[in-house]
Structure 1
């Protein structure tokens, strides 16, 4: 193991990690918004839109992110829509992740007892107020472990961004391995940087889950 070489490569990995995090979190934020919107449409059984949302979920959950990125980055320009690699990565991750987030939110909504909504309406709340103040907080709490798992999954999925010329962690690793043939050093640094990114998310998710369920980080 050449530690001097690893120290030399460190700035490249740091820049790649920042790019990966920036695009990854932008895509995850979009995925949460899309997933919640889709789950609400399905939950309230809105005609036509519900069928469209179900088709969207099936399409994006059952096709690889890499193929979706290829379609957006190489296919859309043929129809006159040229997008940057950064936008393509965030947009593709948002749509891909939105399908998974939608299922998590949907399971959360379905886990809330129907009597909660009926009681809210009986007390004079409008349907939207019932969702906002009664149903949604409980649904998010119930779905939170699944949502955190989706966040971790989507952060790991950023490893395919190198296929659309984004200089992410995987791109830098493959580039350095091809130039200097230091396979072990590059792979070790790749693993370490992904651990630095993912372990805090996992620990924070577990802590927040305990806070939501028990009201204290100490329990």
Structure 2
């Protein structure tokens, strides 16, 4: 049975990953303890673990907040994310590829539908899930973890970008399709390169957007 610390940790991480807690948002143990109906000790332990993992950070003389990234580091962070995703994809085994094609194809179709329906927030969430699914089967236990941290830190910029550029400059569907086709053909190295190239394109687009 999960401990109170584990329950709080899972709930907090989920709220961070789905955007309920926004990057840069301050958190404190007392209101969280009241929310989860536990003592402050398991809340503090969960916060400490999330800080160690990079999802939370300490603002000196202020408190703890959801991790963020400065605008002048956005492009570099996307490039790093691309390298992590490339490494994670290139470690996939042929044995797991078959189980990836269907969910990735379905998510890409849902992404296209969200674009067609001008649902920018849904499109952003689906895009994130697409990349999460891609790395969950990687034998590298760190690839998915580090990618999640970076995506969390990039979230405020992504929200602004999707809000202001959607749908005219959102063109990930074709990139996703090419990646799926490479995986389906068991061209894992090519899929890894495509994953990184996709992130590099996003880095350039966001860099131009922030200028």
TM score, norm. by length of structure 2: 0.30
Higher gyration radius (CA): 1
TM score, norm. by length of structure 1: 0.29
Q: Which has the higher helix share?
A: 1
Q: Which has the higher strand share?
A: 2
